[in-house]
Structure 1
Amino acid sequence: MAFKTVIGSIADHFRPKMDAVGVTHNGPLTADDAFIERSVNQPQPRENEILVQVLASSVNPVDVKMRSGYQDKGVFRIFGLDVVGRVAAVGKDVSRFAVGDRVYYAGKQHHDGADAAYQVIPAEMAAKAPENLDDVSAAAMPLTTITAYDILVHGFHLPIAKDAGKGKSVLIINGAGGVGSILIQLAKYLGLTVIATAGRADSQEWVKKMGADHVVDYHRGLVRQIADLGYPEVDYIANLQDTTGYWDLMVKTIRPYGEIASIVDTTMPVDLGELKSKSASFSWIFMLARGNFNVYLSEQGQILEDMATLFDEGILHSTVTKVYHGLTAYSIRSAFQDVAGHRAIGKVVVDFAPNIKASEGGMPLEDGSDKESTFSDGPDNIQEKDGQAEKTGKSELNDEDAPTHY
């Protein structure tokens, strides 16, 4: 064994360890070993980074997609992008945060994720968490809120200001998902008339609760339904479900000089030229581009800081609807199953409180954490009320192989 390797192995032995959940191969989510638990080296922050003790994390469709594309067999990979946590250490160049600060953020796609006791993140990507949201409620929000912001600001070129879009209309395709749920709220703050698609009765009820002015059933002809509402054309369209499948609808429904934004890959080529006669524009929105290309990182932190104010003022509300208890392979796998099954309304969160209570060297739980949460608790249905995640009953697991519903 080379001398450097020996020294590295000795040094590695003395590095602090932490619990993490991840994958070493790509298999069905229904398999018991779809996720595994490991003790790994605790990361250390560089000069511009903060070390965060993760208090809770949520699962997004992009997490499921990343796992399905995993190809490094045998290499332990940790997923998880959404975080609420407490700063455990700061790099020497960090001045915005101090140890003990409660922060929230969406991490980088190609770095070790948040399904671990600790994570490092560039300080400029984080913001202090909304004071009025507890850990579970706050963990649901970073990625989807930034995406909704990007749709409105970078896709539709609207400022995030009260009534900035008054008199304009927006069609949100898939209003009940994580992005749709917060986009509806932000669009209403801007004064937009919101038309949102939803299929199931519970999805339609949820979309109305989020503030949609009109709900249309995607099972039936959308063009006719929207026209019957008095909107044969709309100013803006946000496609959060299927760019290819809804392309013809969008071309027909967008108003001249209107703007379309989509977060969903095309499955077949689409003809952008069809928008030319209307002088309508089309934009791709992918909030993870900032972290992937290391550009505009501070904008991401600023967005979260601004949105925290709206959460604290009660203008925006958390979209969490389900919580699992404990950073375990079971909890992570189950949350991924829920999201992969396309039946989840709002957001699914994993609460790390049981791990923190069980740890010997970590910070104690403070206000905002569910101090009664235990590893043995099954998943709970959640309803956010005044910033607190209230349990409304026990929840069943969803089947990864169930038909897609929105």
Structure 2
Amino acid sequence: MRAIGIYKHTSVDQADSFTEEQVDKPTASGEDVLVKVKAVSVNPVDTKQRKQKEDDGNFRILGFDAAGIIEEVGENVEGFQPGDEVYYAGSVTRQGSNSEFQLVDYKVIAKKPENLSFAEAAALPLTALTAWEAMFEKMHIPLDAEANKDKTILLVNAAGGVGSIASQFAQLYGLNVVGTASREETITWAKQHGTERVINHHEPFHPQLEKLGIDNVDYVFCMHQLDKAWDDIIEVVKPEGIICAITGPVEDIKLTDLTSKSLTLVWEYMFTRTLHQTPSRYKQGEILSKVAELVEDERIRTTKAEELEGLTVKNVQKAHKQLEDGSMIGKLVISV
């Protein structure tokens, strides 16, 4: 089968940063399904994994968001059969989705929303899982709009891939949603995806919130450069409030800043369950099934912002460059 990958880390600006190879088509066994990939989405984790690749002679296939059609199922797979259209985020410990076929643990996949194309569906898994786990498992936000009606969440980087779906979840479950964005296009995108009010993350948070009639917030979900936003976050979060982060750096953060307000700081890493094969990894399949239901009921929508046609070296390289430039809005998808 055809696959796009790397042998070692090189700058994305180099012409040979990615390579197309013919590799053996895998066979499904045990708890795996073999998926014929129809679309993939590119995430910051792709660029991070690329930069960590050692020059060990092994061919690494990246890609951690996909939608496709099940071709084969292992003997221990339950609830899926060949022909099912599915979507998933996979695992960083296995070969990725930038290929014609991919093996995936059936416990972390779900049937894709019927009202979305493969490209639209591929935009959702990694970011939806990240946002759901962060908000409803790590921060313990109730799945109850009435219980949340007087609660406010601040989303740092509301127009990014995770922010674009987190804002929809927050609005759906009754939270007052404030997000950060700084450019006209990111402000517009954030407001289109559930962020009710916007502040600029390049300016102090508290004065901007005060102008909106908000003194402090119950929850902060930081999805970009935690160290730069740290002082502002500590200032605006309520006593006994909860902060969740998904990205560093953390070297200059003082945990003692949490003490006087008895704040809780939690971390969300979507790949924990597959990386460590936790008994709870089946929950990722359940979450994606719930997300598909919400999409089909038109209560949330895809966050696909851009689509490239064709899984080629050129398109994968272009996608990585756009992510490294730091100007992405929503999700970038490559259709196969």
- TM-score band w.r.t. shorter chain: over 0.9
Q: 1:3-402 to 2 correspondence within 5 Å?
A: 18-295=1-278, 296-352=280-336
Count of paired positions: 335
C-alpha displacement of 1:164:
4.3
Deviates more, 1:114-123 or 1:219-228: 219-228
Q: Is the 8 A contact 1:148 1:179 kept in 2?
A: yes
What CA deviation, in whole Å up to 9, does each residue of 1:36-61 have, x standing for no partner? 10000111112111000000000001
Q: For the residues of structure 2 that align with 1:211 and 1:103, how far apart are their CA atoms? A: 26
C-alpha displacement of 1:72:
3.1
What CA deviation, in whole Å up to 9, does each residue of 1:132-187 have, x standing for no partner? 11111000000000001011112320233444422100110000100000000000
Q: Is the 8 A contact 2:224 2:248 kept in 1?
A: no
Q: For the residues of structure 2 that align with 1:314 and 1:162, how far apart are their CA atoms? A: 17
SS in 2 for 1:277: coil
SS in 1 for 2:260: helix
TM-score (structure 2 length as normaliser): 0.97
SS in 2 for 1:244: helix
Q: Is the 8 A contact 2:4 2:19 kept in 1?
A: yes
SS in 1 for 2:228: coil
Q: For the residues of structure 2 that align with 1:291 and 1:63, how far apart are their CA atoms? A: 16
Q: For the residues of structure 2 that align with 1:65 and 1:253, how far apart are their CA atoms? A: 31
Query: Match for 1:143: what amino acid?
Result: L
Q: Percent identity?
A: 35
Q: Which has the higher contact order (CA 8 A, sep 6+)?
A: 2
C-alpha displacement of 1:269:
3.9
Q: For the residues of structure 1 that align with 2:318 and 2:193, how far apart are their CA atoms? A: 26
- Any gaps of 5 or more consecutive residues in structure 2? none
Q: Over alpha carbons, which structure has the higher Rg?
A: 1
Q: For the residues of structure 2 that align with 1:61 and 1:116, how far apart are their CA atoms? A: 19
- RMSD over aligned CA atoms reads 1.1
Q: For the residues of structure 2 that align with 1:114 and 1:160, how far apart are their CA atoms? A: 32
- Any gaps of 5 or more consecutive residues in structure 1? 1-17, 353-406
Q: Is the 8 A contact 1:158 1:164 kept in 2?
A: no
Deviates more, 1:22-31 or 1:181-190: 22-31
Query: Match for 2:296: what amino acid?
Result: D
Q: Is the 8 A contact 1:163 1:192 kept in 2?
A: no
Q: For the residues of structure 2 that align with 1:252 and 1:217, how far apart are their CA atoms? A: 16
